């Protein structure tokens, strides 16, 4: 049986303070550690030069903020599709999915989430199931909040077959680079069994994530709503 993570009330003294800090301050995603460590080292080595140390320390703090990786608790229930990222719901519409998703050529319900540079930038698994396909497409770097960014920008598309045996309805999730983004990371592999809400990827810096739902699905979010990755329910497929 998996051990429950230590909670602030489990221990006392200094250990309690450490647990409280870890529960309050999000850790940094491992992909962001070099971006934090490099300026932090410069700040340490340049401590005799205040202007250099302060600038480097500010860069390290900004990187730690951007690459933060907070803990999230997904809702419980079969057939749920959750937000794959934090951000503002930019579009709720129907659109023909990208060909690489393999979801057909008819318009499907789509929810688009725009991540500003201040949002958490890790991506979460939107639906539990098996990875059917992953494909990266090079492209432009238009502002991610523009409608045309969905098709014009660099992107990585992943299709998930839902259900415990991977035979349920398929959900498509697309990581889209933005105006400042130059790197899309997807750590999943074809055939992986994904758990709802687990972290699977990251985009640097400023981006968008689109979710294509099965035909007949009714999105449970509205344009302008703030989505919380792994927690906000986008649809119920049951």
| Identified catalytic residue from 63, 157, 207, 217 | 207
Cα–Cα distance between 121 and 113 in angstroms, integer? 11
- To which residue do tokens 């300026």 refer? 39
Tokens of 27: 């850790």
- Phi and psi torsions of 99, nearest 5°: -55, -35
**Does 207 qualify as catalytic in the annotation?**
yes
Going through the chain in order, the beta strands assigned E by DSSP cover: 80-82, 87-95, 108-115, 122-124, 129-137, 155-162, 170-177, 183-186, 193-194, 199-204, 207-212, 226-227, 233-236
- Phi and psi torsions of 13, nearest 5°: 65, -140
Cα–Cα distance between 17 and 24 in angstroms, integer? 10
Four-point Cα dihedral 102, 181, 123, 37, nearest 10: 140
| Residues carrying an active site annotation | 207
């Amino acid at each position: 049986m998996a051990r429950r993570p230590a909670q602030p009330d489990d221990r006392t003294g200094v250990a309690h303070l450490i647990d409280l800090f870890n529960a309050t301050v999000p850790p940094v995603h491992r992909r962001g550690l070099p971006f934090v460590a490099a300026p932090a080292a410069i700040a340490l080595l340049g401590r005799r030069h205040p202007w250099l140390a302060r600038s480097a320390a500010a860069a390290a703090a900004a990187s730690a903020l951007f690459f933060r990786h907070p803990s999230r608790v997904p809702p419980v229930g079969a057939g749920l599709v959750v937000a794959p990222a934090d951000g503002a719901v930019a579009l709720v519409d129907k659109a023909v999915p990208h060909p690489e998703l393999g979801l057909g050529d008819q318009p499907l319900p789509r929810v688009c989430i725009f991540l500003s540079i201040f949002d958490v930038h890790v991506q979460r698994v939107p639906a539990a199931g098996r990875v059917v396909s992953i494909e990266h497409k090079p492209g432009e770097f238009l502002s991610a909040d523009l409608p045309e960014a969905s098709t014009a920008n660099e992107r990585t598309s992943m299709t998930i077959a839902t259900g415990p045996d991977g035979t349920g309805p398929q959900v498509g999730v697309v990581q889209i680079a933005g105006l400042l983004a130059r790197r899309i990371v997807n750590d999943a592999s074809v055939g992986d069994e994904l758990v709802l809400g687990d972290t699977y990827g990251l985009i640097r810096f400023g981006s968008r994530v689109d979710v294509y739902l099965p035909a007949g699905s009714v999105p449970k979010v509205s344009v302008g709503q703030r989505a919380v990755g792994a927690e906000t329910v986008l649809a119920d497929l049951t």
